[in-house]
């Protein structure tokens, strides 16, 4: 081998040598994931195999276009990879390739959704999606009285549908009445914080009444749908989109499935593919497509159904344990991987509990609950069990987690009292500054130690915990 010129030597050095600052940040994040409990419903832990694929040499290759129709040469193996990924996507969701196709190139769920809207709609066409405060998603047409928040509301006319206030379930009757006035071109179903399953058959009948497309965004639940543990949207929808990193447990990206025989558009396949590229994005991320393919292979195995069943069992147990302690959950339970916890009866905001849980090593997120005046001031917390299940936790372990959450809520109420005001900055001070005559900050330290000890009993996929050393920049109180 010829000598490497000085200007190329950085290409052959490992990360720890060439960029110790970035390596340290990665090490700190690894330590955080190992030392805490991940309960954000939209997060999961991908496999060692997916991480190896995602960090592969495939990152070097440009491949604008579709397999066997690229704008660059040298794509024979990339073509093979993308065709394999498409094949596995259809297999994972039990789809007939003569009736369904899939585009595996979207960079994320939000870009997948906007590409799907671009394919089905013209600018200023009308769409309906579940409102964000009722558990919907930003990309389903969300806007406020003062501002159109996302592209789906900027470029299209949007009308949200909501929940029945008495049951907190989707108000299908109300949706039907709204649609007769609004006359949408597209109805979107799917949510980011809805703990129950969907009635796709009813939604199809509403869409058909107005000759509208029906699209399901199953980003949160796709892993459970693939396992056959939730209702099948493919039976009724024209388009189905999903992320790949939530219950599907893959890298961070998106998929768009489209019905080849949709009566709404015979050319839907071409419209979807053209919308992804060149309309909405450039060359695909081939390293990520490799990781998606590896993930989908896992989703085709018998072990996948067992994983999905455990995710749901863990979520049900977590919900039951919180209800047993007197707390209020939206719909008082769950059919899927998440529970939505209403903190308003306690006089506590989601922001404060999220902040406190960060301090004690439990990662959660504040979330609107039905009836909130604004999604920006949420009255609840969203909890999901996908990631803890990926760390091998079972239902008995969820009982331990529920007790940690119970203690965190009671501690948050104490801190709010000790803060002397309802301002978040005063709450943070009470949680982090030990003051004479107050026990809140000391109790935070005690709970953090217990959570940390419990979390470190469990492995993290892709991490050899036996070799982990606390990285520089991490201060701990033990």
Q: Distance between CA 4 and CA 12 in Å, rounded? A: 9
Instruction: Kindly name the residue from 19, 43, 64, 125 that is annotated as catalytic.
Output: 64
- Annotation marks residue 246 as catalytic: yes
Instruction: Kindly name the residue from 27, 217, 321, 372 that is annotated as catalytic.
Output: 217
- Annotation marks residue 200 as catalytic: no
- Annotation marks residue 217 as catalytic: yes
- Annotation marks residue 243 as catalytic: yes
Instruction: Kindly name the residue from 19, 32, 62, 407 that is annotated as catalytic.
Output: 62
Instruction: Kindly name the residue from 88, 204, 246, 316 that is annotated as catalytic.
Output: 246
Q: Distance between CA 456 and CA 222 in Å, rounded? A: 29
- Annotation marks residue 64 as catalytic: yes
- Annotation marks residue 62 as catalytic: yes
Instruction: Kindly name the residue from 252, 316, 352, 391 that is annotated as catalytic.
Output: 252
Q: Distance between CA 193 and CA 40 in Å, rounded? A: 11
Q: Which residues are catalytic?
A: 62, 64, 217, 243, 246, 252
């Amino acid at each position: 081998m010829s000598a490497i010129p000085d200007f190329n030597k950085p290409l052959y050095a490992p990360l720890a040598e060439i960029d110790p600052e970035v390596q340290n940040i990665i090490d700190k994040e690894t330590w955080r994931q190992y030392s805490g409990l991940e309960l954000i419903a939209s997060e999961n832990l991908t496999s060692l195999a997916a991480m190896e694929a995602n960090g592969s040499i495939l990152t070097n290759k440009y491949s604008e276009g579709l397999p066997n129709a690229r704008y660059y040469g040298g794509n024979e193996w990339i073509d093979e990879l993308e065709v394999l990924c498409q094949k596995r996507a259809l297999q994972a969701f039990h789809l007939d390739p003569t009736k369904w196709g899939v585009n595996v190139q979207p960079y994320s769920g939000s870009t997948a959704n906007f590409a799907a809207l671009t394919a089905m709609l013209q600018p200023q066409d009308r769409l309906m999606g579940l409102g964000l405060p009722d558990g919907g998603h930003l990309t389903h047409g969300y806007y406020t009285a003062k501002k159109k928040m996302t592209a789906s509301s900027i470029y299209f006319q949007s009308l949200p549908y909501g929940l029945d206030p008495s049951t907190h379930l989707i108000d299908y009757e109300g949706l039907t009445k709204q649609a007769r006035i609004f006359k949408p071109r597209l109805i979107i179903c799917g949510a980011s914080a809805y703990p129950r399953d969907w009635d796709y058959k009813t939604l199809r009948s509403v869409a058909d009444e107005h000759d509208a497309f029906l699209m399901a965004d199953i980003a949160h639940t796709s892993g459970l749908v693939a396992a056959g543990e939730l209702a099948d949207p493919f039976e009724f929808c024209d388009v189905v989109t999903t992320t790949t990193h939530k219950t599907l447990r893959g890298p961070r990206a998106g998929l768009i499935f489209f019905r080849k025989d949709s009566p709404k558009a015979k050319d839907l396949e071409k419209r979807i593919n053209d919308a992804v590229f060149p309309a909405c994005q450039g060359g695909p991320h081939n390293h990520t497509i490799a990781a998606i393919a590896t993930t989908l292979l896992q989703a085709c195995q018998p072990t996948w159904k067992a994983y999905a069943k455990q995710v749901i069992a863990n979520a049900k147990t977590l919900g039951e344990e919180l209800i047993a302690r007197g707390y209020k959950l939206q719909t008082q339970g769950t059919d899927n991987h998440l529970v939505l916890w209403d903190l308003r009866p306690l006089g506590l905001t989601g922001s404060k509990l999220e902040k406190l849980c960060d301090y004690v090593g439990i990662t959660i997120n504040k979330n609107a609950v039905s009836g909130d005046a604004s999604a920006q001031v949420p009255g609840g917390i969203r909890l999901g069990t996908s990631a803890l299940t990926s760390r091998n936790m079972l239902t008995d372990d969820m009982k331990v987690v529920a007790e940690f959450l119970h203690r965190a809520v009671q501690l948050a109420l104490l801190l709010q009292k000790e803060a002397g005001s309802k301002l978040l900055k005063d709450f943070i001070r009470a949680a982090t500054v030990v003051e004479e005559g107050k026990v809140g900050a000391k109790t935070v330290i005690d709970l953090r130690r217990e959570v940390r000890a419990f979390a470190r009993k469990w492995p993290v996929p892709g991490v050899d915990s036996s070799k982990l050393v606390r990285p520089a920049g991490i201060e701990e109180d033990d």
